[in-house]
Amino acid sequence: MSEITPDLVRHLAGLARILVTDEEVEKMTSQLSLIVDSVATVNKAVAGDIPATSHPIPMANVFREDVIEPSLSQAEALSGAPDSADGRFRVHAILDEE
């Protein structure tokens, strides 16, 4: 059981400059006690020999080595293009620029 008391809740509310009613103090006392107890339970479950992780599954780099392989020549790449000019694909302008 946590050590959250109504007096502690009132003190914390005062530090935070929050006005609370007696009903709110009782409700927050039980809620904060539950939170503190839950954190304590998790702390007990995690033994000291378990390393902290940022991801539950070990991750590895999925990138392949950057290897130069044969590819299309410029002429082959442009051979299926509907329009080309100066060794490049030619497309309609989408802005009012020349």
Beta strands of 1-98 (E only): which ranges? 84-85, 88-89
Our CA dihedral for 16, 22, 24, 27, rounded to 10 degrees, sits at 120
* Binned average pLDDT, 10 residues per bin, the chain of 98 residues: 89 95 95 93 77 78 87 91 91 77
CB 9 within 8 A of CB 20: yes
* CATH architecture, domain defined by 6-45: Orthogonal Bundle (1.10)
Residue 1: the pLDDT is: 63
C-alpha 70/C-alpha 40 separation (Å) is 60
Residue 97: the pLDDT is: 64
Residue 46: the pLDDT is: 75
Residue 69: the pLDDT is: 92
Closest CA to 30 of 59, 1, 57: 1
C-alpha 38/C-alpha 45 separation (Å) is 11
Q: What is the pTM of this model?
A: 0.48
Q: Domain boundaries in the chain?
A: 6-45
